[in-house]
Amino acid sequence: MADPLQDSLIREIDEDLRKERYAKLWKSYGGFVIAAAVLLVVGVAGHQGWTSYDLGRREAAGEQMVKAMTLSTDDPSAALAEFRSLAESAGGGYALLARFQEAALMARDGDQQAAIAIYRRLETEAGDPVLRDLAVVLGAQHQLASAGSSVDRVELERTLQPITAEDNPWRYSARQLLGVLALQAGDNAKAGEIFSALATDLRAPQGMRSRAAELQSVAEGG
């Protein structure tokens, strides 16, 4: 964000207000990426499971996945055990989906570093480029949430940049994260440009356009 060493008391107060507003926005909307991502992963996982395993094994893995996802609300420890079991035994799409769910549970329980480690592992294990890029996006999201200003900006930008390509299904999420990264690093001009482009892109999801508009206002000092 902006340099804290302001020579004007008014500027300092304004900066504090903008930081507070940004923090509330990130807390409110940061998790939306995961919710959208899981929907696509379920579809891809089902397809990969169909082509890789016999019907009986697919059905067993599917039942275990449903059980684990049901448990995740009331008994996260039991759900975590089920997801880990699936990741080791199911193979294919169900194993990948189980890993994504395991990471989401770890993050929900406050262990951001464990979640990031799983996403990094998925970056190399997920053969499908769609799932690989999803792991990159989710890992970056948790890095920004947990590391804040200490994140390696250059490395994270290098990792996210290819995902912003027009033919990538995660391009809008990657662009939003690059904007947040710039905002956290104090490059408000770059952040404003990114959020402005997102807010006016009619092809982007409406919810993301609205969030981008709000974050643009933060970057521009509104």
What is the predicted pLDDT for the residue at 14? Answer: 42
Higher model confidence: residue 172 or residue 85? 172
pLDDT in tens, 154-173: 888 999 999 999 999 999 99
Q: What is the pTM of this model?
A: 0.70
Q: Locate 141 and state its tokens.
A: 């999201």
Alpha helix positions (H), the chain:
9-29, 32-52, 55-74, 76-89, 92-108, 112-125, 129-147, 153-160, 171-185, 188-199, 206-219
Higher model confidence: residue 75 or residue 20? 75
Q: Is residue 126 part of a domain?
A: yes
Q: Is residue 50 part of a domain?
A: yes
* Residue 11 in this model has a pLDDT that exceeds 60: no
Q: Is residue 3 part of a domain?
A: no
Give the position of tokens 């994140």. Answer: 151
Q: Is residue 209 part of a domain?
A: yes
Largest CA distance in the chain: 69
Q: Is residue 180 part of a domain?
A: yes
Q: What is the domain extent for residue 200?
A: 9-219
Number of structural domains in the chain: 1
* Residue 98 in this model has a pLDDT that exceeds 50: yes
Whichever domain contains 196, its CATH number is 1.25.40
Q: Is residue 33 part of a domain?
A: yes
Quick count: other Cβ atoms within 10 Å of Cβ 65? Answer: 23
* Residue 33 in this model has a pLDDT that exceeds 60: no
Give me the chain's average pLDDT, please: 75
As a whole number, mean pLDDT of residues 84-98 equals: 78
Q: Is residue 178 part of a domain?
A: yes
Q: Specify the 3-state DSSP secondary structure of 53.
A: coil
As a whole number, mean pLDDT of residues 9-14 equals: 39
DSSP 27: H
What is the predicted pLDDT for the residue at 177? Answer: 92
